[in-house]
Amino acid sequence: MAQLNGLNGLNGLNGLNGLNGLNGLNGLNGLNGLAIANGLSGAAGATADPSALLTTHDGIAGSWQAPATSPRWPSFDSADNLRLWGAAFRGHALDASLFTELTFATSGPGPSTLTLFHVERRSGTAGIECDHLPIISIRAPGPQQFGGEQLRLTAGYAALRIDRIHEIVSQIPIPLGFIGAIAFLSDVRTPRTIELLMAAHRFAVLVEMRFKQAFATPRPADFSPQIQPVIPTPLHGAFPSGHATEMFIMARVLSTLLASAGVDHYREGLWKQQLMRLAYRVAVNRTIAGVHFPVDSVAGCALGLALGDYLVARCQKADRVYRQRIFDGSEFTDDGNDQQDFAWGLVDDAFASPANKLAGLTTGGEHTVARAPMLGWLWDQALAEWQGDGAPAPAPRG
């Protein structure tokens, strides 16, 4: 029986289950990381021994004296008040500002379609009036598509596991280090850029989870015992891919931020190319691992790019236009051109111009949205980190 204790070593594998949370809602814990990365959360004196603070107070405070003046009083509901808070608390305020202007509805091209809307509010004769402006509509493929060519493609990707396993495991949490290897990210040099990317990530997680809940699509391992994923299968639906959504929104936001900095160096297309290639590689690695179908990443790419365009539009100083995106997975079928596999460039091209065709991907109307003050504040702070002599400047304290 003692030999059986060796099996207890297998319990260590259970620790991998903790990684599942990183794939989904635990992405919200990125706010906690911001508190550390910011380095400014809380007063430096908060690390002192409380008993030492107590005796120091007793030794120097003296008799109570009512202050003759008051501290500067911040303006009501000013976005500039964000500079007063720690990064984690700023994140909560930003999320509330962003998410309260969104809603979902089951409407769009055909049945079983879920659409994300921006809610534009305005004062009218009857009080507050709302317009619902579509951001993206998604319809999932059917069971036969998942269990047919999609499953065959997923099984074929397993041949790459030996080459990609180290990447696959490293990319289970938020792959911010991979992004920072392309555009030099640092909590000292670019803290506000990191905050902006984490806001984009949290935005993606909450939206993608609503779509996953609607479609509740099985994972590849549910279809075949031969898939045998090399990492724990996440405890939520496969479609759309969360990693693809999160990586493509961060790639879109960061590449647009760099191109907007007014520095010729960052206008070069190589920055966008490398960020998009990284997003693509991370997404494909999830299929290689055996936890996603290629079409999951097609939908995730479409969702991430659409959310990125919307988020960037909400950050600009002047009213900006975004275009509705539509992905009808029931039309994503093989026409002899390997179009059931995932190629991010085809998705981006199909959204950039109606002349570029990809089965299931179309664009809708253009919609104008106003700047969200708090998001705009963070964008401006992040933008300043990339302006100057071609290298990020230290961010202002606050």
- pLDDT at 227 (0 to 100): 97
Q: What is the mean pLDDT of residues 360-368?
A: 90
Supply the mean pLDDT for the chain.
85
Residue range 300-345, pLDDT digits in tens: 999 999 999 999 999 988 778 899 999 999 888 755 445 688 988 8
- pLDDT at 36 (0 to 100): 40
Q: What is the mean pLDDT of residues 192-218?
A: 97
Provide the angle, in degrees to the nearest 10, between the axes of the packed helices 161-170 and 269-289.
Answer: 110
- pLDDT at 129 (0 to 100): 82
> How does DSSP classify residue 232?
P
Instruction: Give a yes or no: residue 83 inside a domain.
Output: no
In terms of Cβ atoms closer than 10 Å to its own Cβ (0-12, 13-18, 19+), residue 86 is middle
- What percentage of the chain exceeds 90 in pLDDT? 66
Instruction: Give a yes or no: residue 234 inside a domain.
Output: yes
Task: With cut-offs at 50, 70 and 90, classify the pLDDT of residue 46.
Answer: low
Closest by CA to 94, choosing from 294, 315, 275, 260, is: 315
Instruction: Give a yes or no: residue 54 inside a domain.
Output: no
Instruction: Give a yes or no: residue 101 inside a domain.
Output: yes
Residue range 90-114, pLDDT digits in tens: 999 999 999 999 999 997 656 699 9
Instruction: Give a yes or no: residue 20 inside a domain.
Output: no
Most confident of the following: 124-133, 182-191, 315-324? 182-191
Say if residues 311 and 200 touch (Cβ distance below 8 Å).
yes
Count of domains observed in the chain: 1
Residue type, 173: P
Instruction: Give a yes or no: residue 195 inside a domain.
Output: yes
Closest by CA to 256, choosing from 208, 320, 175, is: 320
pTM: 0.84
In angstroms, the CA 23 to CA 26 distance is 7
The torsion angle over the Cα atoms of residues 74, 77, 83 and 84, rounded to 10 degrees, is 50
Residue 27, pLDDT > 90, answer no
Residue 15, pLDDT > 60, answer no
Query: Domain limits at 164?
Result: 93-384
> How does DSSP classify residue 148?
I
- pLDDT at 343 (0 to 100): 86
